[in-house]
Structure 1
Amino acid sequence: MNDPLIDPASTPEELAFEGALRPTTLTDFVGQPKVRGQLEVLLQAARMQERAPDHILLAGPPGLGKTTLAMIIGHETGRPIRFSSGPAIQHAGDLAAVLSALVPGEVLFVDEIHRMARSAEEMLYLAMEDFRIDIMVGKGAGAASIPLELAPFTLVGATTRSGMLPAPLRDRFGFTAHLEFYETADLERVLARSSRLMDLDLEAAALAELASRSRGTPRIANRLLRRVRDWLLVHAGSSDIDGVRAALELYDVDEAGLDRIDRAVLHAIAHRFGGGPVGLSTLAAAVGEEADTIESVVEPFLVREGLIGRTPRGRIATASGMRHARALAPDDTLDGV
């Protein structure tokens, strides 16, 4: 079962909520100063030369703003943006249909681009480089390749696993932006802006408390803010730090920012498997979660916080992680740690 606070598969309601909070310009985009500066130069140079910007790859963990940046790129260039995703492009024909429908200068955003079919990736090489694709007509000895010219476009790809992209595809992007987890101060600015848009008046200390538990991720920060808003509405609570703490306690987000799944993973490694090492599939079965959810959502945060580590033999709990696990569920077997 996925946790609604961190599950990357958003519901339509959550997508609408997040969409309402998205900034539309680089000026309004909070955090990622290096990436913002790089994109500003790239987009401004394209405007000055009256051409489509180079293809852009946005790489980083979920929830850091890749989709938002893609929408901003479309807005800043004044061009329409078309959305697609890697899992939806499973045949070369799927990609050909998308590319042939593009208008000059259009921005094509492909989320999870690392999950495209290999045949589609190979077609994309030529499209990105020469704005042309080859369509195969007929079969067998009578088959023929017909070139189809494409309108100049800008591909914006988003990936949480850039290492899974083939080198020929990575090399065809003119710019690769690596998004990093947010500092607490930047998350406070994100939450302050979102609070204003939601007509929610939270004290500075309450925003700081919320930011410190948001795992360095704006998407999670905004979802926790939504839960805090609901709690304050139902309980007529105070919008100070005590109200935020009460709301987060209800939703199982502790002082370190760990939620139910985080604690379950840490508890399993420390208590069930004696601190590890334990394989990913075994760990997933132990906590009742998908291995992909643990690997892409839970692990990056726990590793960054120094609570677990990855080794060739599997996942291990660090000394800090063992202490945290003991605090969560005291166990005599951990007394020597």
Structure 2
Amino acid sequence: MRATMIPGDGDTDSGLRPKTLEDFIGQPRVREQLHLVLSGAMQRGATPDHILLSGPPGLGKTSLAMIIATELGTSLRLTSGPALERAGDLAAMLSNLVEGDVLFIDEIHRMARPAEEMLYLAMEDFRVDVVVGKGPGATSIPLDVAPFTLVGATTRSGALTGPLRDRFGFTAHMDFYEPAELEHVLRRSAAILDVDLQPSAAREIAGRARGTPRIANRLLRRVRDYAEVRSDGTVTLAVARAALRVYDVDEAGLDRLDRSVLAALVRSFGGGPVGVGTLAVAVGEESGTVEEVCEPFLVRAGMIARTPRGRVATAAGWHHLGLTPPEGLVYGGIEVRPAD
């Protein structure tokens, strides 16, 4: 078995990653599907089909790529879509692959078009055409590529071009975790980090982790710091709540920026509708940060809604700030009613 190459996320993050499909918590349907894809290929002695992992950030796509390489007993080569600016960058990586290797491309939807077009041929025929020279004297040299399995990860599957998406033999759609699954994740992480985590504290942290294992583990490390510095090291319910208060994570999982966006929408703009650019100026952030970091969770939590006229605060958003929404007022076609 060749050594698996892992990304440099730091010893702590790498140590928390599951090593096998059996160790991977949550995503039962994806785990079953992957098991069938990998086991079938190994029984045939063939290279598995290319795999696309799709879903929001922090759900374990990189961990699954590492697990795929481990289950196959091969090496994992890692890169990202933004790093592949030229076709030559991809050609150099492909030419160094050994038969059976797993090539993981994170944020594959952000690949440059020349590299993506080269990848088509490599995925289908395991060869690439390298163009040498320019103009009328340019020559295309075909290079064979060792059979490999491409694992692509994307948070925006809709941004993938049709030809690229069609070349994946299996697409795994990953969903947000339930609080009970996150509690399991936290108990496992606490055991690895040697943290005395009480069940009630695990439940509290899981409820504020936005359905995302990465956030749950991040909060656990911060609560551990608080417990070690300001308590006896044991993470109790009271310690967890006090720590999360220090780090500005409220009961619903909103952080300082989330609450600023929601408060600006309600207090400064009467609940909306308002454009995301105007909302970003009101909180002193880039519009991309508001749209990509804050808005998805606020929408999923049912506190704001997108309408053709702009963003509006829902009844749940008003009540989260301790305010009562105006009765019978319609924002962008959405009637706002007090919560029951």
TM-score of the two chains, using structure 1 as the length reference:
0.91
Task: From 293, 311, 334, give the equivalent of 1:315.
Answer: 311
Residue 24 of structure 1 contacts residue 75 of structure 1 at CA under 8 Å; is this kept in 2?
A: yes
Amino acid paired to 2:67: I
Stretch moving more, 134-143 or 201-210: 134-143
- 1:95 counterpart = 2:113: no
Counterpart position of 1:52: 47
Counterpart position of 2:4: none
Counterpart position of 1:304: 300
CA distance in 2, matches of 1:161, 1:293: 16
Counterpart position of 1:255: 251
CA distance in 2, matches of 1:95, 1:284: 37
Stretch moving more, 251-260 or 282-291: 282-291
Aligned CA-pair RMSD: 1.6
Task: From 179, 193, 203, give the equivalent of 2:198.
Answer: 203
Amino acid paired to 2:268: R
Deviation at 1:297, TM superposition (A): 2.9
Residue 55 of structure 1 contacts residue 174 of structure 1 at CA under 8 Å; is this kept in 2?
A: yes
Task: From 147, 150, 164, give the equivalent of 1:152.
Answer: 147
Task: From 274, 280, 287, give the equivalent of 2:283.
Answer: 287
**Consecutive unaligned residues in structure 1, runs of 5 or more:** 1-11
CA distance in 1, matches of 2:235, 2:284: 36
SS of the residue corresponding to residue 156 of structure 1 reads: strand
Per-residue CA deviations over 1:29-86 (Å, capped at 9, x if unaligned) read 0001111110000010111011111111111111000100011011111000001001
Counterpart position of 1:6: none
CA distance in 1, matches of 2:123, 2:73: 20
SS of the residue corresponding to residue 194 of structure 2 reads: coil
Deviation at 1:318, TM superposition (A): 1.2
Task: From 118, 123, 126, give the equivalent of 1:128.
Answer: 123
CA distance in 1, matches of 2:309, 2:199: 44
Stretch moving more, 222-231 or 273-282: 273-282
Counterpart position of 2:62: 67
Deviation at 1:277, TM superposition (A): 2.2
Counterpart position of 1:264: 260
Counterpart position of 2:172: 177
Higher RCO, 1 or 2 (CA under 8 Å, sep at least 6)?
A: 1
CA distance in 1, matches of 2:57, 2:280: 19
CA distance in 2, matches of 1:285, 1:255: 26
Residue 62 of structure 1 contacts residue 297 of structure 1 at CA under 8 Å; is this kept in 2?
A: no
Deviation at 1:289, TM superposition (A): 2.8
Deviation at 1:335, TM superposition (A): 5.5
Counterpart position of 1:5: none
Matching of residues 78-89 of structure 1 within 5 Å: 78-89=73-84
Per-residue CA deviations over 1:14-36 (Å, capped at 9, x if unaligned) read 64321110000000000011111
Amino acid paired to 2:154: T
Residue 61 of structure 1 contacts residue 296 of structure 1 at CA under 8 Å; is this kept in 2?
A: no
- 1:222 counterpart = 2:217: yes
SS of the residue corresponding to residue 109 of structure 1 reads: strand
- 1:278 counterpart = 2:278: no
Stretch moving more, 280-289 or 106-115: 280-289
Given the superposition, is the C-alpha separation of residues 161 and 85 from structure 1 closer, same or farther in structure 2, using an over 3 Å criterion?
A: same
Counterpart position of 1:111: 106
Deviation at 1:261, TM superposition (A): 1.4
CA distance in 1, matches of 2:226, 2:300: 30
Q: Percent identity?
A: 63
Amino acid paired to 2:85: Q
Given the superposition, is the C-alpha separation of residues 15 and 299 from structure 1 closer, same or farther in structure 2, using an over 3 Å criterion?
A: farther
Task: From 30, 36, 49, give the equivalent of 2:31.
Answer: 36
CA distance in 2, matches of 1:313, 1:30: 40
CA distance in 2, matches of 1:118, 1:279: 31
Deviation at 1:212, TM superposition (A): 0.4
Amino acid paired to 1:257: G
Task: State the 4+ residue runs in structure 1 displaced beyond 4 angstroms.
Answer: 334-337
Counterpart position of 1:240: 236
CA distance in 1, matches of 2:116, 2:278: 33
Per-residue CA deviations over 1:290-337 (Å, capped at 9, x if unaligned) read 333333332222111111112223222112112223x2xx59xx5656
Amino acid paired to 1:244: A
Amino acid paired to 1:264: S
